[in-house]
Amino acid sequence: MGETPEGPPTPQDRKPAPERASAPNGAPRAAGEIRAASAPGRWLVLTTVLGSGMAMLDSTVINVALPRIGEDLGTDLAALQWTVNAYMLTLAGLILLGGALGDRYGRRRVFVVGVVWFALASLVCAVAPNAAVLIAARAFQGIGGALLTPGSLALIQASFHPDDRARAVGLWSGFGGVGAAIGPFVGGWLVDGPGWRWVFLLNLPVAALCVPVALRHVPESRDPRAHGRFDVLGAVLGAVSLALVTYALIEAPGRGASPAVIGAAVGGVLLGAAFVRVERRRPDPMVPPAIFRSRLFTVVNLVTFCVYAALGGFFFLSAIQLQVVAGYSALGAGTALLPTTVLMLFFSAASGELGHRIGPRIPLTVGPLLAAGGMLLMLRVGPGSASVSGYLSEVLPAVVVLGLGLVTLVAPLTATVLAAVDTGQAGLASGINNAAARAAGLIAVAALPLLAGMGPEAYRDAGEFAATFRRAMPMCAGLLVAGAVLAFCAVRTPAAAPAPAPDTEAGRDRDRAEAGGAPSDEGPCRPECTVHCGVVAPPLEPARRPPGG
């Protein structure tokens, strides 16, 4: 199969072309021939987990370091917001383009470039003398993350033998989940010990191990059908639009309705409209508008936006609340939030199976409501919460309820995104969903301090921050409730969800249509990444190729 009904093959959908690479023993080994149980297979999983793990950790552990960064560099709250958002901005805006570059120029090559780029940007972050340099370096980090994050999964999909791909993706997903779970703990330990700069310096030895392993043990692959122009214009318009809106939201508390703030807001909206117009007219758009013809896909992405906007705001503010108001150390704050990701690590796979049996509507309704309850329980956290009894009675119940909510919803959400489109578009659908979640978190981190009335120095004053935190948490919970209502009203459970669909093309297409999804020659495809620990974005899924594709 060549092109999808919506246009030319997308970056996530293209089939890898085998290219020869030298195996460790000198014998040639081609992409698509590596077995999971072999030494090359283990090396390949190692390097892809290390590469993607760097990007994942730097998007989460930074939250526990923010108070120390602000104190050390003498910055205001806006600079801390930009420290988080500069990274998210370039990563969200360029992650789909990063996959396209790998298809054209070689997945291993682009992955290695991304790892090196990320490591060099991390070094600049570590030695940054002021907030401006740190923010710029974080933006460059995001570019490296956009190159290596989709590339790590693409290498798994392209390099392993077809019989072992699902197992390899499962290993990649599982080890990545372990990394996500321990990340805040490691970040807090580094901040309290050698200092926040070591959060970034840690990436250097990881990259030094990752690059030579990739060059020696990972075969190169690319898509010979990757042709035409890259949608650079679309990527730039999307990223600049987000940047201008973010600027307006972050700067508004300090500058008010100044010409710069108003101009940025208006410019961001206009460029967003231009992005939609360009994507509609391009023959090979980065985000094909036709994919949103699936009602289910559109609705689930709106639910994703609500969920991850709430999560982005929650983890940004809670890490500061625990340290500035409750008196936790950075290590204590990271450890306090750990139960959420631990619950996801152990129970997300079971949740995915449950969602497969009962359908997506109930999990996507109940999960956000549970998570909203956890966020409201965080309102009990205050000056006495740093004691053992305070943690057990105030912090732990909140993060456990939040974790149960995320366990309930994230795996079914990912499965529903994939079920809403043709099998050949699974990689593209996952990439769009991942980017939407990151953009949601970006906007939430920018908007919540403004909406809650946080001043530029709020994080330095425990009383002021606590008051604004109490206003912000109900807003986060409200976003989750909105997502739950949307899911309950618009996500329809397929009639045949508890039992296998009829083994006919008409039967499969009928059930897909009842769910609001698109017909498929192979029926709904299921996630291969069974472990879901990311609180910043749902996991990326590999491309799926129909027989003969």
pLDDT digits (tens, 9 = 90+) for 113-126: 999 999 999 999 99
The span from the CA of 219 to the CA of 28, in Å, is 9
The span from the CA of 159 to the CA of 523, in Å, is 25
How confident is the model over 389-402, as a mean pLDDT? Answer: 94
pLDDT of residue 506 exceeding 60: no
pLDDT band at 541 (very low <50, low <70, confident <90, very high): confident
pLDDT band at 7 (very low <50, low <70, confident <90, very high): very low
pLDDT band at 22 (very low <50, low <70, confident <90, very high): very low
Q: What whole-number percentage of the chain has pLDDT above 70? A: 86
Name residue, tokens 């409209």: 273
H or E element at residue 221: strand 221-222
Return the amino acid letter for 207.
A
Residues in the chain: 549
Orientation of helix 165-192 relative to helix 39-58, angle to 10°: 40
The span from the CA of 493 to the CA of 515, in Å, is 6
* Biggest distance spanned by C-alpha atoms of the chain: 66
The span from the CA of 164 to the CA of 159, in Å, is 10
Return the amino acid letter for 166.
A
Residue 463, classified by CB atoms within 10 Å of its CB into exposed (0-12), middle (13-18) or buried (19+), is: exposed
Average pLDDT of the chain is: 83
- How many CA atoms are closer than 13 Å to the CA of 68, on its beta-carbon side? 24
pLDDT of residue 478 exceeding 80: yes
pLDDT in tens, 202-221: 999 999 999 999 998 888 88
List Cα–Cα distances, 76 to 48, 70, 73, 189, 250, in angstroms: 36, 7, 9, 24, 11
Q: What are 222's strand-pairing partners? A: 17
Alpha helix ranges (H) inside 287-329:
295-320
pLDDT band at 520 (very low <50, low <70, confident <90, very high): very low
Q: Which two tokens stand for residue 14?
A: 């293209």
3-state secondary structure at position 529:
coil
DSSP state letter for 502: P
DSSP state letter for 491: P
Check: CB of residue 449 under 8 Å from CB of residue 81: yes
What is the structure's pLDDT at 519?
44
Distance of CA 344 to the CA centre of its chain: 15
Check: CB of residue 155 under 8 Å from CB of residue 44: yes
Check: CB of residue 121 under 8 Å from CB of residue 244: no
**Lowest mean pLDDT across 345-349, 433-437, 480-484, 486-490:** 345-349
Name residue, tokens 């209502």: 485
Q: What are phi and psi of 159, to 5 degrees?
A: -95, -30
**Lowest mean pLDDT across 8-22, 169-183, 240-254:** 8-22
The span from the CA of 431 to the CA of 42, in Å, is 26
The span from the CA of 43 to the CA of 154, in Å, is 15
pLDDT in tens, 335-371: 998 899 889 888 888 888 888 888 899 999 999 999 9
Nearest 5°: CA angle at 112, between 108 and 114? 115
Residue 276, classified by CB atoms within 10 Å of its CB into exposed (0-12), middle (13-18) or buried (19+), is: middle
Parallel, antiparallel, or unpaired for β 17-18 and 28-30? unpaired
